[in-house]
């Protein structure tokens, strides 16, 4: 029984017979002159049909060449070899595509340093911290994965799942607690080894780890904070629940009112594709001033694909040798690896544990009953109890982070860059 002919409709012999040199689509289309007895419209339509036919033939040729390249060389026929020789440009283009795909896959791979190598790097990092005059930490989603909050670009990250066509279910993030890394950062700050923390996370765990707000810039907002922009200065309301239930991309009103002026309250989240304008909790001024003063920057758990775009955080106006020394802790490749003084491939909690042991410091345990958010929070007024359906933070120990919730900031804007596959 013969197998059906390929849908492309182009055999190797036909491809050879129709190949007449360079790709016809590579040249800009030329508007044909009107012929005797043929209107300009008919001539244009004919030209469009020829161009469309040329494009279809080129696509079929690319598909055929790709199929041949996938064969082992010893299984290629004489006609296969002849076609490849006649389509050198197509072969080169396919090879470039293959190399880019492989490079992209390598960048997504998670790498872990061997124990001995990790120990050496921790010693170098500890020495850099002790010698630093002004140290700033840039934190990303990787420091919160131990709290059962997924990152964005890891194997099971939000972006990774969406790009592969899978759905994202966000757990009740208010049940998460500060991780060992969060508590370690707070300890380093209290020991005056860290001067400022710049975070891309919206989970509020830095605030809940007792890190002072003056030492924190939450560039993408905080899920527990809503503000009144009608008051001057803006009036903040810290809540004991996720205030983003009714908000989304370009829609920030939470449905509650300011206690003073009666204006609409809005969340503080900066979604993908938006520009943050709020003074707090973003604290861009503090972040820029800290970066200007820094002589050492440590990046923890961030892919830096977003953070790299903020030039003011990298002192790009300085000559390279006068910029802060950069230390990166991340399992995957980052666009700043090439300029880093040291790159550590390990989980943030593992690095923080070893680092504080090297510095002879003890990491404090998180005590939920002493969480500063309970003293900072503003209670809802009578009649506002039904303005949300999110679980309230309590001083009792929470359950596991697993119940699925809908709405809110988590993963919003991720679909912005997605493209539908051609059928």
Length of the chain: 423
Look up tokens 């009036």; give the residue: 235
- Phi and psi at residue 42, to the nearest 5°: -65, -40
Catalytic residue among 182, 196, 220, 345: 220
259 among known catalytic residues: no
Phi-psi region of 37 (alpha: psi -120 to 50; beta: other; left: phi over 0): left
Interatomic CA distance for residues 255 and 419, integer angstroms: 33
Adjacency order of strands within the sheet including 225-228:
235-238, 225-228, 264-267, 253-257
Yes or no: say if 342 and 121 are a contact pair by the CB < 8 Å rule.
yes
Question: 190: burial class by Cβ within 10 Å (0-12, 13-18, 19+)?
Answer: middle
Yes or no: say if 252 and 240 are a contact pair by the CB < 8 Å rule.
no
3-state secondary structure of 226: strand
In whole angstroms, how far apart are CA 77 and each of 12, 65, 81, 84, 93?
10, 13, 6, 11, 22
Interatomic CA distance for residues 226 and 252, integer angstroms: 9
- Write the DSSP assignment of 360-406 as a string of letters: T-PPPPP-GGG-THHHHPPPPPTT-GGG--SPPP-SSPP--S--B--
- Phi and psi at residue 340, to the nearest 5°: -75, 140
Active site residues: 220
């Amino acid at each position: 029984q013969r197998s059906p002919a390929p849908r492309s409709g182009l055999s190797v012999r036909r491809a050879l017979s129709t190949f007449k040199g360079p790709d016809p689509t590579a040249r800009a289309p030329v508007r044909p002159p009107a012929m005797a007895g043929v209107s300009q419209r008919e001539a244009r339509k004919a030209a469009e049909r020829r161009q469309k036919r040329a494009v279809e033939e080129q696509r079929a040729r690319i598909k055929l060449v790709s199929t041949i390249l996938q064969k082992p060389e010893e299984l290629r026929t004489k006609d296969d070899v002849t076609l490849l020789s006649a389509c050198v440009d197509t072969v080169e283009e396919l090879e470039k595509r293959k190399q880019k795909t492989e490079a992209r896959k390598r960048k997504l791979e998670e790498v872990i340093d061997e124990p001995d190598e990790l120990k050496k790097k921790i010693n170098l990092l500890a020495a850099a911290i002790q010698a630093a005059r002004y140290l700033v930490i840039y934190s990303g989603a990787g420091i919160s994965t131990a709290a059962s909050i997924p990152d964005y670009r890891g194997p099971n990250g939000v972006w990774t799942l969406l790009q592969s066509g899978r759905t994202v279910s966000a757990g009740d993030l208010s049940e998460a607690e500060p991780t060992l890394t969060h508590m370690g950062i707070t300890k380093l700050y209290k020991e005056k080894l860290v001067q400022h923390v710049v975070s891309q996370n919206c989970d509020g765990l830095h605030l809940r780890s007792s890190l002072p707000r003056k030492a924190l810039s939450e560039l993408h907002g905080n899920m527990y904070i809503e503000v009144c922009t009608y008051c001057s200065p803006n009036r903040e309301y810290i809540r004991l629940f996720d205030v983003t239930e009714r908000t989304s991309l370009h829609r920030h009103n939470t449905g509650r009112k300011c206690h003073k002026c009666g204006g609409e309250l809005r969340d503080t989240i900066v979604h993908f594709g938006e520009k943050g304008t709020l003074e707090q909790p973003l604290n861009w001024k503090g972040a820029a001033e800290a970066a200007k003063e820094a002589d050492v920057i440590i990046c923890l758990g961030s892919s830096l694909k977003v953070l790299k775009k903020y030039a003011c955080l990298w002192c790009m106006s300085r000559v390279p040798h006068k910029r802060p020394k950069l230390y990166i802790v991340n399992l995957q490749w980052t666009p700043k690896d090439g300029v880093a003084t040291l790159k550590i491939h390990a989980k943030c909690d593992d690095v923080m544990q070893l680092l504080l042991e090297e510095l002879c410091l003890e990491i404090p345990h998180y005590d939920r009953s002493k969480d500063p958010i309970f003293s900072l929070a503003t209670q809802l007024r009578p009649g506002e109890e039904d303005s949300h359906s999110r679980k309230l933070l309590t001083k009792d120990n929470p359950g596991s982070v697993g119940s699925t919730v809908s709405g809110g900031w988590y993963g919003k804007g991720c679909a912005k860059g997605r493209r539908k596959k051609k059928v």
